[in-house]
Amino acid sequence: MPGPLVSIVIVTFESRNDISECIRSVLASDVPLDLIVIDNASRDRTVDRVVHLIGKRPECRLICNNENVGFAKAVNQGIAASRGQYVLALNPDAMLFPDTIRIALKALEARPKAALAGCMLLNPDGTEQAGARRSLPTPWRALVRVLKLYRLDALHPRFHGFLMNQEPVPRGPIEVEATSGAFMLVRRSAIEQVGALDEGYFMHCEDLDWCVRFGQAGWKVLFVPGAKAVHKKGGSTRARPIRVEFYKHRGMVRFYGKFFRHRYPSILMWAVTVAVWARFAAKASFMAITSLVRWEISTPETRTGGAGRYVP
């Protein structure tokens, strides 16, 4: 179908198990598009699979980095190399339907003040995935979720959490405070005004940062339930779970410090920072112990094959 050009930016890092389905689904989309794949120095067969899939298609390009520069910086590379009126940052473990981009694009074009559209992310079993529609995870809201105080939501709205996937699915596009970085369809004019992703985030929380900055500049963020994508979640990060958790928690500290340090007392922000790193220490310890136990009970053949190897 005719329409504006959409540039798809996919950042890969050892994504060979997911990239084939992702690229095939992108190329089956019913909108004009070009595809830019940025590989962050994968050591598996990801690059070979990408080359095989895109072949000599003139609308597809592959850029290979010599090192893992992180998600935000790699997406920005793709944005700089793109030429579409809209840019879609898409995770390599997401699979689109033929009309996914068109439906999200239609919602953006109908709302000139909307900068970014997120879609309905589905788990492989068809249930709605958390994160595609959410409020900003302020320090208070994060505390509510960690302590499970959202169970008191019926008593007072102050205990309302930031995830919205338990609420009824809206009939049409709605404005939200934030969406997921797994699928972000963004208007180029909004990027030119607000800027690209903050490269201070290696991975995680850069999507929240972008949503906040769009909001501060007067733009809207949309959740478009009619546009759907299946998201496997974490396909390229399972081999290094502790490292991923480190970057996630470091991103949380940066996000809170960047946007909330002037709104909360210093002692509270200090407490939030301590709580974030304490949470990381607890999760990392649990992951390390679990991984070691699995390695100990694995067979010698499995250990030799590397499937049970402990890689933090």
Structure tokens at 245: 């958790």
pLDDT-derived band at 269 (thresholds 50, 70, 90) equals confident
Q: Using alpha carbons, list the distances in angstroms from residue 206 to 71, 111, 166.
A: 9, 24, 24
pLDDT computed for residue 137 by the predictor = 83
3-state helix, strand, coil in the chain (%, to 5): 40, 20, 40
CA contacts within 13 A on the Cβ side of 295: 15
pLDDT computed for residue 305 by the predictor = 47
pLDDT computed for residue 238 by the predictor = 59
Any bridge partners for residue 60, and if so which? 35
Q: Using alpha carbons, list the distances in angstroms from residue 1 to 29, 103, 106, 132, 228.
A: 10, 12, 12, 26, 18
CATH fold of 6-231:
Spore Coat Polysaccharide Biosynthesis Protein SpsA; Chain A (3.90.550)
pLDDT digits (tens, 9 = 90+) for 76-115: 999 999 999 999 999 999 999 999 999 999 999 999 999 9
Mean pLDDT of the chain: 87
pLDDT digits (tens, 9 = 90+) for 189-238: 999 999 999 999 998 999 999 999 999 999 999 999 999 999 997 655 55
- What percent of the chain is modeled with pLDDT above 90? 62
Q: How many distinct helices (H) and strands (E) make up the chain?
A: 10, 9
What is the residue extent of each domain of the chain?
6-231, 241-305
Quick check: 262 pLDDT over 90? Answer: no
Q: What is the pTM of this model?
A: 0.86
Provide CB contacts within 8 A for 157, sequence distance 6+: none
CA distance 237 to 240: 6
pLDDT digits (tens, 9 = 90+) for 109-151: 999 999 999 999 999 999 999 889 988 888 777 777 666 666 6
CA distance 80 to 82: 6
